[in-house]
């Protein structure tokens, strides 16, 4: 099965990339482990940033400065300038394909304030912004006749080595979830858009169950590099019992954070890392923490935050119109990911990465709310166009140069030998708890070291943790096990990077090294695979 551009992942990033590659003349195929509209993008609530100034004065320069400030010195200014400078055009494009944004009284796209922003900059559609963008992108893909193949799980990338020892992409080895068969998708360019790795934290994450870093783990196995993996954002306000997200727009609209005594204790609209730490400090003191939006009134809540009211009622049995919302911070967004250059290309020639799985170095040590939906559009376009260009130039390279082909994935073969005497679901939960406690909002060396030991111990026993279910047809026990293996692989990498960075910067807060140390650490951590071991180094 051949295409010019193979897109893996059908969330916002994947679909934008697919559309743009298609517009550039490439034959595009999209594969997804679920269905496009089930992707993580559907959960984005708050909005997409663009300095339109529809509600009050704003400028692209302010957007850039806010983003850089929140990134704590390790964003790439050139990339941030591209992101923010392209934002108005990105939102205009979404408007032109039919996204149902909320509107102002004077018929403009409505905007609201999120944390760390100097102006109301996030364009929104009630608190369903991601949902409405994702579905409209899906409809656009159907309009363009783009082929989408559902329920296909990425096992490994197929690579070629050229005579000059460069690694080229050749496609992907994929598990057809429905049949249990392995399928080979050949493609001159591949775009990986598989999302982040917040589910390392298991139930202590706002994310959907699929955010297991599959594409990131496969990318490093194929020879790509990862960067800034230690930077994981905790969203300040998830529902206490279920970790379900309550949008930052609730605070943007004037919601308060209160402790058990009913006292406010922080600036609710500071960037997420600061607010999450302030909440964590209260919780450590034995306080319960609540979000209070009662004063916003029922009409406002129903108009602007209908989803929040529904979720709070369902999961906490409280009505935010009348009650305080019990909250806690949980893992929400992973800043780290596959390292890409300014063309969105990884170290594997022809392999592009976009969205949360990629690190375009625009978020640095802490992402601003409203910038992730934006990066999907801006860098999705870039990745799609460049992948199409690469495919058209390189379509014959693989076969003509007689490259060595590494086409098969060992994953399934290997797992067949595994026993199931140790329950991997238990270990998955254990890693989630361990990470929340020791690799969470605050970290320190001893805790990180002990977590690493624990994770390595689990890794050593992996051959005793296979799936119990041996069925070929739609085996979710097997899938969850492969996801768990990816999580395990990334856990070690995250821990190694977190131990090495002996300072505090943005979302990486070391209680034993509280100061930001620009002399030593104003750099990106880079992880690469050297034979069977991982190496970590710092680069500008």
User: Which are the catalytic amino acids?
Assistant: 235, 251
Q: Which residue has the tokens 């967004």?
A: 333
Contact 150, 34 (CB under 8 A): yes
Q: Which is nearer to another protein, 125 or 351 (CB)?
A: 125
Q: Is 473 in the site for another protein (CB under 8 A)?
A: yes
x-marked contacts with another protein along 427-466 as a string, rule CB under 8 A: ----------------------------------------
Residues 6+ apart with CB under 8 A from 96: none
Helix or strand run (H / E) with residue 533: strand 533-539
Size of the site for another protein (CB under 8 A): 56
Is 199 among the residues that bind another protein (CB under 8 A)? no
Residue whose CB is less far from another protein, 108 or 408: 108
For the sheet with 290-292, list strands across it.
Answer: 232-239, 325-334, 290-292, 256-258
**Scanning residues 269 to 308, which ones bind another protein (CB under 8 A)?**
307
Q: Please, what is the Cα angle at 265 between 261 and 271, to 5 degrees?
A: 145
Judged by beta carbon, residue 43 or residue 224, the one nearer another protein is: 43
Contact positions with another protein (CB under 8 A) in 54-83: none
Q: Is 394 in the site for another protein (CB under 8 A)?
A: no
Contact between 96 and another protein by CB under 8 A: the answer reads: yes
The one among 54, 70, 102, 345 contacting another protein by CB under 8 A: 102
- The encoded tokens of residue 441 equal 């909002």
Nearer of residues 242 and 445 to another protein, judged by Cβ: 242
Q: Is 43 in the site for another protein (CB under 8 A)?
A: yes
- Between 127 and 230, CB nearer to another protein: 127
> Binding of another protein at residue 142 (CB under 8 A)?
yes
- Least distance from another protein to the Cβ atom of residue 144, Å: 9
Beta strands, E only, 107-227: 111-112, 122-123, 147-149, 152-161, 167-176, 182-192, 226-227
DSSP state of 396: T
Closest-CA residue to 234 (of 441, 443, 66, 448): 441
Find, among 334, 310, 308, 305, the residue nearest to 207 by Cα: 334
Q: Which of 4, 34, 228, 230 binds another protein (CB under 8 A)?
A: 34
**Residue 508, phi then psi, degrees to nearest 5:** -95, 95
Report which secondary-structure segment, H or E, holds 145. none
Q: Determine if 468 is a binding residue for another protein (CB under 8 A).
A: yes
With contact defined as beta carbons under 8 Å apart, do 452 and 500 qualify? Answer: no
Q: How far is CA 80 from CA 60, 342, 540, in A?
A: 10, 11, 16
**207/525 with CB nearer another protein:** 207
Residues that bind another protein (CB under 8 A): 34-35, 37-40, 42-43, 92-93, 95-98, 100-105, 107-108, 125-126, 128, 131-132, 135, 139-140, 142-143, 150, 178, 208-210, 242, 244-245, 307, 310-311, 314-315, 423, 425, 467-469, 471, 473-477
């Amino acid at each position: 099965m051949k295409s010019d551009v193979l897109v893996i992942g059908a969330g916002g990033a994947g679909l934008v990339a697919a559309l743009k590659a298609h517009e550039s003349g490439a034959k595009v195929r999209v594969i997804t482990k679920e269905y496009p509209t089930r992707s993580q993008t559907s959960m984005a609530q708050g909005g997409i940033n663009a300095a339109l100034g529809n509600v009050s004065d704003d400028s692209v320069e302010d957007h850039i400065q806010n983003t850089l400030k929140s990134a704590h010195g390790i964003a790439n200014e050139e990339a941030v300038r591209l992101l923010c400078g392209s934002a108005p055009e990105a939102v205009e494009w979404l408007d032109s394909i039919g996204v149902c944004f909320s509107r102002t009284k004077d018929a403009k796209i409505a905007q609201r304030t999120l944390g760390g922003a100097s102006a109301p900059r996030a364009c929104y559609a009630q608190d369903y912004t991601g949902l409405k963008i994702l579905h409209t992108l899906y409809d656009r893909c159907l309009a363009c006749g783009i082929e989408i193949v559902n329920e296909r799980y990425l096992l490994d990338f197929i690579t070629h080595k050229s005579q000059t020892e460069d690694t080229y992409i050749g496609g992907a080895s994929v598990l057809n979830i429905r049949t249990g068969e392995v399928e080979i998708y050949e493609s001159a360019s591949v775009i990986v858009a598989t999302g982040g790795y917040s589910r390392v934290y298991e139930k202590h994450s706002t994310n959907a169950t699929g955010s297991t870093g599959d594409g990131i783990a496969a990318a490093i196995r194929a020879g790509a590099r990862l960067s800034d993996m230690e930077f994981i954002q905790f969203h300040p306000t998830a529902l206490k019992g279920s970790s379900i997200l309550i949008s930052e727009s609730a605070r943007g609209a004037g919601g308060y954070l209160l402790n058990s005594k009913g006292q406010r204790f922080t600036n609710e609209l500071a960037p997420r890392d600061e607010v999450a730490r302030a909440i964590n400090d209260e919780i450590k003191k034995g306080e319960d923490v609540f979000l209070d939006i009662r004063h916003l009134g029922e009409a406002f809540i129903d108009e602007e935050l209908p989803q929040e009211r529904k979720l709070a009622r369902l999961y906490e049995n409280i009505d935010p119109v009348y009650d305080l919302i019990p909250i806690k911070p949980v893992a929400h967004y992973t800043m780290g990911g596959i390292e890409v250059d300014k063309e969105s290309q990884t170290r594997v020639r022809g392999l592009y990465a976009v969205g949360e799985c990629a690190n375009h170095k625009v978020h640095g040590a802490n992402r601003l709310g409203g910038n992730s939906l934006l990066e999907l559009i801006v860098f999705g376009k870039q990745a799609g166009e460049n992948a199409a260009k690469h495919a058209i130039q390189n379509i014959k390279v693989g076969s003509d140069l007689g490259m060595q082909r590494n086409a098969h994935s060992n994953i399934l073969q290997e797992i067949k030998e595994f026993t199931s005497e140790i329950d991997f679901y238990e270990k998955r939960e254990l890693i989630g708890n361990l990470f929340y406690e020791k690799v969470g909002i605050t970290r320190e060396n001893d805790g990180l070291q002990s977590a690493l030991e624990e994770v390595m111990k689990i890794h050593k026993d992996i051959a005793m943790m296979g799936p119990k279910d041996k069925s070929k047809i739609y085996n979710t026990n097997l899938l969850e096990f492969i996801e768990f293996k990816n999580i395990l692989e990334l856990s070690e990498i995250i821990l190694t990077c977190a131990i090495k960075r002996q300072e505090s910067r943005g979302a990486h807060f070391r209680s034993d090294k509280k100061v930001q140390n620009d002399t030593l650490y104003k750099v990106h951590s880079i992880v690469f695979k050297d034979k069977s071991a991982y190496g970590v180094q710092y680069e500008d």
